[in-house]
Structures are given as structure tokens and as C-alpha cells.
Structure 1
Amino acid sequence: MTAPYVVTIAKYGTRSTLRSDVYLNHHLYHEADGPIDMDYFFWVIRNDETTIVVDTGYSRQGGEARKRTTLMSPPELFAALGVDPATSPDIILTHAHYDHMGNLDHFPSSTIYMSRVEYEFWTGANAKQVLFHHSIEDSEMDGLAAAFAEGRVRFLDESPEIAPGIEVIEIGGHTPGQAIVKVDTAVGVVLLASDSAHYYEEYEADMPFMAVADLVRMYDGFALVREMVASGEVQHVVSGHDPSTLDRFTRVDGELHALVATVGEVR
């Protein structure tokens, strides 16, 4: 029997913006605009036998180009968490935005699991226009391209089981192949919502994020998360960017207290 996992939530960056810059058609809510912060995370799933990385954050160069505040570069934070690229941990890529795949080259021998639809979109005919519109540089796709050329990319439709107790579900919405991750832990099932729910109020109040590939699928994703919680299928939801996320779980002790929390660890 597979030992339950512990999920580590690692905050590596942040920024401050406005609610009208975050929520699609914010003026339709008839609420005052105001400041809102956005935190940037990656996640690590571990038990005694397995370490799996979920997303790899933005590169320092990518963060600087977009005026994001880097609190600790993801490679440094991975090292502080004891995640060694030399051990080739599997990587689940929830989607191919710059802040989720910017350090794939830090794991040069890891296998990457992702949606086929997601990969084909970002490497397809329309990718150049989308990359330009979102100020995404071609270099940020290099790590993914190299992994594919080396045969290290596995698509979810052909490799649905990453490991026992870990389920990756493609739901789309934010991007064509946006995925979420369910993880069995000792305190219940944890849902890594990634950018299917940047903020908790997105799925709680049906408030779509401003960057969306398919609005109907985004709403369907909100409904799916709510159903999982209401039915008891999921006990803990981890958002993709909400600044309240770390405080909802167990902060680690020591130097990483401000940046890292865990869920699933029995103390």
C-alpha cells in the first residue's frame, strides 16, 4: 500500500495589482475597485518513495521582465526544500504559462506530464501571436521543447497515472489544457487547483479570471471544484495564486516560515 503524501506549498514570488486587472469584466460586479495581491507558487508532492514536482515557477529573468517580485528564485527554493534535480523527479505541468514552467531546464532529466491539448496549442500555428500578446518570450518554451525532443514529455491521455494516489484531471478554461491535481494525504484528499482557481473567490462566487481561453469551460471548472468539495471527494483546496493560501495550511518552522506551508503532515 502506498504511503500517503505530504504536499508542500512553496511561495516564490508576489505582486500587487487591482481587482479590475484580475477579474474579467470586473465592472459588472458593481463593486468598488481596490488593491489585490497575487502570490506565485509551485508545489511538491512527497512520501517515503516518491517526489513529484508540480510546476516550476517563473525564471528570474521572466519575473523581472514582468515586474514581478521574486522572494526566492525557484531553483534556490527547490534546493532549500531538498528537491534535487539529479534525482530526476517527475514533473506535472498544470499548464504552459511562464510562471508555471519557467525553470524546466533546472530539471534536465525529469519526465514531464502534461495535457496533449496544452502542448499542441503552445507549439501550434497560433502560438506566436499568443506568446507575443502575453509578452512570453520564445526562450521560455525552450525547456519544454528540449524535453519533448528528448522524449521526456508524457501526455495525460497516454499516461493517466503518475503514481498511485495522484490523479491529474484536464479541465481547460484558463488555458486549453489547464489541469488540476488530486493527492491522497493522511488528512484527506488535497486538490491542487492551480490556475483553475487563482483565488478562492473565483470558484466560490463564479468570478472568472481575466485571462481565459474558454469561458464556458472555466465556469465548468468552478462547478467541478465546488462539487468535489460538497461531495466530500476533496477535503482541502489549494489555490493557484491567492495570498491567503499559506495561512490556510501548516506553516513550516525556521527560515522558510514565510514562504512554505504543508498539508497532509500528521504531527
Structure 2
Amino acid sequence: MTQAPHSEVLAIKYAETVSPDREHFLMGHDPHDGPHPISYFLWLIRHENGLVLVDTGFGERAAAERGRTLLRDPLDALASLGVQAEDIETVVLTHMHYDHAGSVGRFPNATVIVQERELAYAAGPAMRHPACRKAFDVEDVTDVVRTLYDGRIYPVSGDRHLFPGISVHLVGGHSKGLQVVRVETDAGRLVIASDATHFYETAMEGDPFPVLCEMPAYLEGFDRLFELADDPNLVVPGHDERVLSLFPALPGDPNVLELHKGPLVPTPFAGRRMPVVREP
């Protein structure tokens, strides 16, 4: 069996905020309700055939409307790495919440990979309900629909191999069509978990983020993450600031992390027992 080529994976922090602990855990994680930081990331995959951008982040408008601190525009963050928006040929949207799917139209040459059920959910009748649409942005959803009409949306249904060593896997739960990304790296098969686990505690304690649409799928998704990864340390949460200290930073930029090199020290997932059944 031919081994898949290894890719580089960069986590790029572009925004942050701090809010009460209770806002991040459905079951009330901390009885003292201390402040809880949240980091916002993009992920850039460099593979043998080009670049894959996982999520597109949000810009100044959404940051102002939602009270987030924008450290740098996502396009500026990419430019600092020598990558222009026109260079991106593939975008994977893990889901269509505002902090993951803003600015899709700013990548004019990209084919955008999104789950069919996420498209249907984000533009469907459930959005009549404020509780369902809270994490969506109508302008971002409209931008995705325009991209669909441009013929640049590639909808997938379930798991799909995109390139050698790069695949997407449907987990749902947090949003109808939430997908995670698995990448073959020098450190092993790494999983960009996105919002399948916001923080290390989310999966370790089985305590979901309070924005969700399918509780059983959300909880079952925790096991799925570890079925996909070669090592529990290679499951990377979507919003945990500790990723910044656990993985090596790109020289000269502490907000860009070289995930493909593996963690510097064991992560909080290190003690989690791996599932008996593993995904090939």
C-alpha cells in the first residue's frame, strides 16, 4: 500500500475574545464562572498539489457586531505567509457559522467544499428560529449562495477524500453539516477538529458548547475525532488558546503554529483512551 504524501498544516490565530465560562459549556463547566478566553483560527494546508484553506474566518464588520477583537484580517494573515487570496484553489468550510465562513467571496479562484446538509440547514427553514440562526450571519450565507451560483461550491455528502492524505469527515452535532479535516503529516494523521470540540475540556468531559442542533451526534463526534487521529495529541480543538503554547510557533510569528510537527509536550488529550475501532 502506497503511503500518502505528508502535508504541512498551519494554525493561524486571527481574533480573540474573553467571556464567562458558562457561555462555553452546556453543563456549566466552572462553578466559579471565571473568564474564559477563546481564540479564532484559520488552518492552511500546504500539500504537494497546492494549498487548502480550512475556514475563512470573519472580518471587521462581524468583529464589531459581535464584540470580538480582530487581531488581523484573515487575508492579511495569509499575506504575511506569502499567500494571496488568489493563490487559494480549495477552501474547506467546516461549517457555515460566522466565525468559520465569512469572506468566502474574497477567494475568487477557490472551489469551496461544504457538506450538502450544511448548505440546506444554513439556508433552510430552521433559520426562522433565532436559536438556530444565532451563530450564522445572513451576509455570509448569502455570499456562499452567490458562490454556489458561480459554480464554485462543491457540495459533499459524508466523508470524502480531497487529495492524497487529506480528507473531510462529517460529524454534525454543533451544526447540521459540521465536518472535520484529517491530514497526513510527519507527526501522523492529524485532525483539525474545528467546532467538533471547541476546547480540550469539551471532548474530555463530554460537555458540549451551548450552540448545537443534534445532541447525540455532538456526543458521538467526540469518539469519531479519536478514531480518525493516529494519536490523541493530534486532535486539535477549534478555539482553545492552549494550542498556542502546545504546538511550535512559526519563527517570528507566535500566532502561527506548525501543527504538522506535533505538540511540544503532551496535550490534555494525551490521557484519553483511543477507541478500539479505528478508521482506516
Choose from 252, 256, 262 the match for 2:258.
262
Contact conserved, 2:4 with 2:184, CA < 8 A, in 1? no
Question: After the TM superposition, which residues 106-145 of structure 1 pair with which residues of structure 2 at under 5 Å, given as runs?
Answer: 106-130=106-130, 133-134=133-134, 136-145=136-145
State the shift of 1:160 in Å.
Answer: 2.1
- Identity between Structure 1 and Structure 2 (%): 28
TM-score under structure 1 length normalisation: 0.90
State the shift of 1:237 in Å.
Answer: 1.3
State the shift of 1:48 in Å.
Answer: 3.9
State the shift of 1:178 in Å.
Answer: 0.7
1:6 lines up with 2:3 in the alignment: no
Question: After the TM superposition, which residues 19-30 of structure 1 pair with which residues of structure 2 at under 5 Å, given as runs?
Answer: 19-26=21-28
Partner of 1:209: 209
Q: What amino acid is aligned across from residue 14 of structure 2 in structure 1?
A: Y
Structure 1's 235 and 24: CA in aligned 2 closer, same or farther, altered over 3 A? closer
Partner of 2:242: 244
Residues 81-109 of structure 1, C-alpha deviations (whole Å, 9 max, x = no match)? 22222234200000000000111121022
Contact conserved, 1:172 with 1:179, CA < 8 A, in 2? yes
Structure 1's 136 and 118: CA in aligned 2 closer, same or farther, altered over 3 A? closer
Contact conserved, 1:187 with 1:265, CA < 8 A, in 2? yes
Structure 1's 161 and 100: CA in aligned 2 closer, same or farther, altered over 3 A? same
- Secondary structure, in 3 states, of the residue corresponding to 1:126? helix
State the shift of 1:118 in Å.
Answer: 0.4
Contact conserved, 1:63 with 1:70, CA < 8 A, in 2? yes
TM-score under structure 2 length normalisation: 0.86
Q: 1 CA distance for matches of 2:158 and 2:100?
A: 22
Contact conserved, 2:4 with 2:165, CA < 8 A, in 1? yes
Residues 23-46 of structure 1, C-alpha deviations (whole Å, 9 max, x = no match)? 1131xx673221110000010010
Q: 2 CA distance for matches of 1:155 and 1:132?
A: 21
- Structure 1 residue ranges without an equivalent (≥5): none
- Secondary structure, in 3 states, of the residue corresponding to 1:65? helix
Contact conserved, 2:15 with 2:69, CA < 8 A, in 1? yes
Q: What amino acid is aligned across from residue 211 of structure 1 in structure 2?
A: V
State the shift of 1:51 in Å.
Answer: 0.6
Partner of 1:40: 40
Contact conserved, 1:191 with 1:234, CA < 8 A, in 2? no
1:151 lines up with 2:147 in the alignment: no
- Secondary structure, in 3 states, of the residue corresponding to 1:264? helix
Contact conserved, 1:23 with 1:210, CA < 8 A, in 2? yes
State the shift of 1:226 in Å.
Answer: 3.8
State the shift of 1:67 in Å.
Answer: 0.4
State the shift of 1:15 in Å.
Answer: 0.4
Q: What amino acid is aligned across from residue 257 of structure 2 in structure 1?
A: A
State the shift of 1:125 in Å.
Answer: 1.9
Residues 213-253 of structure 1, C-alpha deviations (whole Å, 9 max, x = no match)? 11111110112224445xx4665111100010121111011
State the shift of 1:129 in Å.
Answer: 3.2
Structure 1's 182 and 149: CA in aligned 2 closer, same or farther, altered over 3 A? same
Question: After the TM superposition, which residues 137-216 of structure 1 pair with which residues of structure 2 at under 5 Å, given as runs?
Answer: 137-157=137-157, 160-216=160-216
Q: What amino acid is aligned across from residue 248 of structure 2 in structure 1?
A: T
